[in-house]
Copies of this chain bind each other. A is one copy, B any other.
Amino acid sequence: MNIAGNLLIGQSVRRGTNGVSYAIDAASGERLEPGFGGATLEDVDAACALAWAAFDIFRETTLEARADFLETIAANILAAGDALIERCVAESGLPRARIEGERARTVGQLRMFAGVVRAGDFLEARIDPAQPERKPAPRVDLRLRHIGLGPIAVFGASNFPLAFSVAGGDTASALAAGCPVIVKAHAAHPGTSELVGMAVQKAVKDCEMPEGTFSLLFGSGREIGQGLVRDPRIKAVGFTGSRHAGTELMAVAAARPEPVPVYAEMSSINPVLLFPHALEQRGEAIAQAFVQSLTLGAGQFCTNPGLILAVEDPALDRFVAAASEALRRAPAATMLTPGIHRAFETAVSKFAEHPQVQTVARAQPATGANKGQGALFVTSAAAFREQTELQEEIFGAASLIVRCPDLHTMRELIESLEGQLTAALQIDEADYAAARSFLPSLERRVGRVLVNGFGTGVEVAHAMVHGGPYPSTADGRSTSVGSLAIRRFLRPVSYQDMPEALLPESLKTGNPWRINRLVDGKIALAQRA
């Protein structure tokens, strides 16, 4: 399978006629062949028509068939082999080991959702049997299952060209939920997108899924992306990217005659709280780990530690010195795109020129195209509280240390923060009492609280929450990573006094799918063969 720059609309391969765009080799800044033809609104319409036609069929496939489909996507991605890795490295500027790891994550994620689908718990099947003898009135028979919302628009993310892109977490969880997916590829990695798109397209065919189960479009976010979100056949949106683009999509979705949910993961500075004893005991070690997390992937993670809060103390000075020293040794790193690199430099300059911000360290100078030079800043609690622009995310390896006069002020600053994906506590046992008093504030503001680690490295697990209150995500009731991500694309439907012959398999009395169900409010575990 070769990169040809084509749209994938159902099983068809079509040359986009709405302009031509190219990928950029991130490390060299040079244009990569071939050109990608942009989609027109007619292409959007064609993809939506196919997705709509596919929905009723795809959502009623058996659990086994749908799980097989997800596993086939995983296998086809692996089958794309080294060509995929090489193109992805070139387009993203990320190291090969990272991209190989990300492919493993992507494939693992698809397989995890295959397991979720097979288990069937996501259907949340519930049965309240009739009680014909109940007084004063008999009780009807009620059964409930969850079904997919409908076709989903997925926007690939720049910073995870595999794991949060064409066949990433949004696509995997939407397909697992029984929803057809139309992906708007990210302009930063079109070749990677096409290769992965072909793997999904082939899986649709291999598994005899309805044609419209998957489509892939290239084109402008404003025209094609918003056109997709406006289409009445699209019933939800998955997005990872900037706050600006995310809130624009939210506005488009809310203004539809039928508003639809937008799951946008947007911005987060991921506060790290250094507690006194931990800082005193292991400040230097924490500083090393911090800079490692900060510079990982050129700092281009949603969970990058962009804010450090700590109490004024000689131990904090030692931490700042150690972190500065470590950052100064760190090489500048290739960023994903020239645009992201420019935005990083602009934001870093703004901080550097801020009268109340001190630049304490920069990484090694850039030696080539698109290289981001990490930056570490320090400011006071008073400045941080008053200058809300200091709360803005810098996408890349930049972080701001805020010197607080005391723990009370530190907690006040937490209360002044916007919603975040993560918060990390650096604590020793002697800090537990203090840390405990922070937990209520943190739980209200973040999706994941972690101890003695950093937010980067988001485990794909059942108990993961990669989400958080607005504006870290558009919908703080959701996670975009882990098995719970499937819930974003489901809604409950209830059946009252439905004859056995018309009930879906998941709700038939004999439990032919052998799934766990809630019967009269109590969990009835499946009798598995």
Interface set of A (CB-CB < 8 Å, partner B): 55-56, 60, 115-116, 119, 121, 126-128, 137, 139-140, 142-144, 147, 149-150, 250, 254, 258-259, 261, 418-419, 429, 432, 435-436, 439-440, 443-444, 446-453, 457, 459, 461-465, 467, 469-471, 474-477, 479, 483-484, 490-499, 501-502, 516, 518, 520-521, 523, 525
Contacts and interface: CB of A to CB of B under 8 A. Distances in A.
A493 B465 contact: yes
B142 A464 contact: yes
A452 B497 contact: yes
Contacts of A496: 448-451, 453
Contact of A443 (B419, B449, B493): B493
Oligomer copy total: 2
Contact of A525 (B60, B250, B525): B525
A366 to B, nearest CB: 30
A126 B463 contact: yes
A502 B447 contact: no
A463 B144 contact: yes
A128 B462 contact: yes
Contact of A521 (B250, B470, B483): B483
A450 B497 contact: yes
Contacts of A418: 258
A28 B429 CA distance: 70
28 contacts: A121-B523, A126-B463, A128-B462, A137-B457, A139-B459, A142-B459, A143-B463, A144-B462, A258-B419, A259-B470, A261-B475, A429-B499, A432-B499, A435-B502, A439-B502, A447-B491, A447-B492, A448-B495, A449-B494, A451-B498, A451-B499, A452-B497, A462-B518, A462-B521, A463-B518, A464-B494, A477-B492, A523-B525
Contacts of A453: 140, 496-497
Contacts of A477: 149, 261, 490-492
Contacts of A429: 499
A2 to B, nearest CB: 31
B462 A493 contact: no
Contacts of A459: 128, 139-140, 142
Contacts of A119: 521
The 5 A-B residue pairs with the shortest CB-CB distance in the complex, in nearest-first order: A450-B496, A465-B494, A142-B463, A144-B463, A126-B463
Contacts of A451: 495-499, 502
B465 A144 contact: yes
A103 to B, nearest CB: 13
A174 to B, nearest CB: 14
B447 A494 contact: yes
Contacts of A259: 250, 470, 474
A115 B447 contact: no
Contacts of A449: 493-496, 498
B258 A469 contact: yes
Contacts of A60: 440
A143 B501 CA distance: 41
